[in-house]
Amino acid sequence: MKRIIYSTLILTNLLGILNTIQAQDEKKISFNGSARSIFYGDKLTQDTSAIDTVTVPKLNSGHVLVDLGINIRPNKSTEILAMVRLRNDYGGFWGSGVTFDLRQMYVKGVIGGIVKYQLGDFNYRLTRYTLWNSDQEVISNTPQAFQQQTDLINYDHFYSADHSWRQQGASVGFGLVFNRFIQELQVNAVTTRVKPSDFAQTSDRLFSGVNIQLVQSKYLEAGFNYVNMYDVPGTSKNTAGFQNPVYTGTLLAHYGTKNWEAKLDGELGKSRTHFKNDLLAPDWKDRFMDGSVSITQMRTGLAFTVNSKFVGAAFRSPGAQTKRLDYNGLPQAYQRITSNQDLRQLTMLDLMRESSFYNLQLRPYLMEFAPRYDNISPYGDATPNRQGFSLKLKYAKKDVPVTAELTHSQLQEVRGEGTLTPRKFNRNTLTVDARVNEFFKSWKKQIHFTLSYRDDQTARAGEDLVKAVDLKTNCIASGLEIEVLKGFDVLLGIQQLTYKGFDYTAVRNTYSEIFNFTEYAVDGQETLQAIGARYRFSEKTFLSAQLNQFHSKNATSSLPDYSIKQFMLLFQMKF
C-alpha cells in the first residue's frame, strides 16, 4: 500500500513539473497513452449427468487500467519516452489489487544528422527467417466482434501489424546515398538482452543482428542479414555457451507498366546451432531457400503468386521461430471443471482473453504447439522440416469494395520423423472482405462483411508398428458490422473450428533433439458466436457491449461437452 501511495505522489509531482515545462515550451513535452475498462461475466454449463458440486458456475472479472506516456524532446535530435501503467483489478478495495509499473522507456535520436539510435525498449524486425513475430494460431483472422479482445492481447504484449518483436537493448542505423550505379546503402544493427545472468549457472544471453540493404534502383534491391543468439562467456560459472548464428541473403526485383507488374522476391541462408564446451550437445547446420514470383494485372485487379520453399530439418532461427503462444500456460477462468476438478485445455475463447498464454521473449528452442490448431506451419514461414510450393490468387481493385484471396499449399517433410516416410501437408485458405454499403448509393452508413476459411490436412502412410497419420483441421469464420446510426454499430460474428484424426508429436530434450514420440488423437469441435453493439465516440474511443456463446465438444477428452456464456463490457480510449 505504501509503495502505491509513494508511486502516486511521485507521478503527481512529476506531472506538475512537466506541466510547468510544457507551459513554457509546448514543443518539448507531450503525452500519449491509453485507458480501458473491461468487465467479464461468465456462466459455465456442463453436459453431464453427474451434477458438478465443486465448480462455481458463474464468475465475474475485469480491470481498469491507464497507460500514461510522457514524451520529452530536449532538442531537435533527441526524444525520451517513459510510460507507466496503473491497473486495478475488479474486487480490489483501498489499494488492494492495484499495481503500478513502468511499461516502457527509451531514448532515441540522431547523431550528426546521419546515425539514428535507440536505447531501451523498442520493436524490431528483420526478415521472415531472421527476426519475425508470426501471428498466433486460429484467432489472427477473426471477425471484428472477436478482434476487440484480441487487440487487447496484442497491445499488452507489443504485438504489432509489422510482425516486430518487442526488445530491450540498443539499435543503430544509417544510410549512404550515391550518385551513380547505386541509389542507397542502408545499414542497421541491433543488440538486445534475452536473459540475464544469475551469476551461477546461467549466463547472460544476447540477441544481435545486422542488416545491410542495397537499393540499386527502383527495380532492384538486395540485402544481407546476420543474427545470432548467444551466451556471453564469463558472466556465470557455467563454461558451456549456446550460439545460434543465422546468415541470409535477400533479393527483390520488380518491373511494371501501366497495365501490369511483375515481382521476384527471395531469401536463402543457413544456420548453425551449437553449444561451446558441451560434449553432449548437438552441432546442427542446415539451410533454407524461399522464393516467389508474382504477376499483377492492373485492369482486372488480379494478382497471381507462385512460391517455392525448402527449410531444412535442423534449421534453427530463434528470432523467427519463437511463438507468441506458450501452451504451457493454464486458463484463469474455469481452470478446472467437473466434480473431479479436471484441468481444462485452452480453447479459442481463452486465446482471445488470457494473457498468461502469451510470450514476450525470444526462445532458443522450438516451443510446444497444438497440432489441432496448426500442424503445418506452427513456427510461421520459418517452420523447419518443410518443402513444397504454394499458389495464391488475389483480387483487389481500386474502385471495387471487395477483396478476396485464395491460397493452395502442398508441403511435405524434408526428413521423416520416426520413419523414413515423410508426412505430407495440404492447406487451402479463402478470405473475403467486402464493404457492402458501397454497392448501394443510397446507403451511406457502413456495412462491413468478412469471411475466412481454412482447411488443413496431414497424412502419412502406415508401416510396421507405425500407424498411419491422418489429421484434418477445418476453421471457418464470418463477421458483419452494421452501422445503424452515426457512430453506433451492431456486431455479429461466428467462428467454428473442427479437428479430427491421428498423428505423432515429437518429444524433445533440453537441446531440442527428438528422442521419442507420443500418439496424438483428437476428435472435437469449438464454436464461438457473438452479438454486440459498439458506440464510437471518435476514431480512438469506443464503448462496446457484447454477448459471446462458446461451446466445446471433444470425444477424445475426459472432459464433458461444455458451454461458456460470456458477457463483455469494454470501454477503450487512446490519446
For CA atoms 25, 29, 32, 35, the dihedral sign is negative
**pLDDT at residue 328, rounded to an integer:** 85
Give the per-residue pLDDT at 162.
Answer: 94
pLDDT of residue 139: 83
Cα–Cα distances in Å, from 342 out to 61, 354, 557?
Answer: 22, 19, 10
In 3D space, the residue among 263, 367, 281 whose CA is nearest the CA of residue 323 turns out to be 367
The b-or-e profile of 86-99 (16+ CB within 10 A means b, else e) is bbbeeeeeeeeebe
Cell numbers representing residue 235 in the block = 558472466
pLDDT in tens, 454-485: 999 999 999 888 999 999 999 999 999 999 99
Q: Where are the domains of the chain?
A: 1-37+61-107, 114-574
Q: What's the pLDDT tens digit per position in 38-74?
A: 999 999 999 887 788 899 999 999 999 999 999 999 9
- How confident is the model at residue 27, as a pLDDT? 66
Q: Span 114-574: which CATH code?
A: 2.40.170
Query: Amino acid letter at 533?
Result: A
> Residue-wise pLDDT tens for the chain (575 aa)?
444 444 444 444 444 544 544 444 556 889 999 999 999 999 999 988 778 889 999 999 999 999 999 999 999 999 999 999 999 988 766 656 788 899 999 999 999 889 999 999 999 999 999 999 999 998 878 899 999 999 999 999 999 999 999 999 999 999 999 988 899 999 999 999 999 998 888 899 999 999 999 999 999 999 999 999 999 999 999 889 999 999 999 999 999 998 999 999 999 999 999 999 998 899 999 999 999 999 999 999 999 999 999 999 999 999 999 999 998 888 888 999 998 888 898 999 999 988 888 999 999 999 999 999 999 999 999 999 999 999 999 999 988 999 999 999 999 999 999 899 999 999 999 999 999 998 887 778 899 999 999 999 999 999 888 999 999 999 999 999 999 999 999 999 999 999 999 999 999 998 889 999 999 999 999 999 999 999 999 999 999 999 999 999 998 888 899 999 999 999 999 98
DSSP lists the bridge partners of residue 224 as: 212, 249
Question: Which segments within 422-487 are labelled E, that is strand?
Answer: 424-435, 447-460, 469-485
Note the pLDDT of residue 49: 77
pLDDT score for 209: 97
Which cell numbers hold the place of 490?
Answer: 451492431
Q: Supply the pLDDT for residue 96.
A: 66
Q: What is the largest CA-CA distance in the chain?
A: 81
Identify the H or E element spanning 291: strand 284-297
pLDDT of residue 567: 96
Angle at 141 between CA 44 and CA 571, to 5 degrees: 60
Residue 330: the pLDDT is 82
Distance CA 35, CA 27 (A): 24
| 3-class state of residue 135 by DSSP | coil
pLDDT at res. 7: 42
Which residues partner with 471 through β-bridges? 458, 501
Confidence (pLDDT) at 21: 47
Residue 307: Cβ within 10 Å count: 19
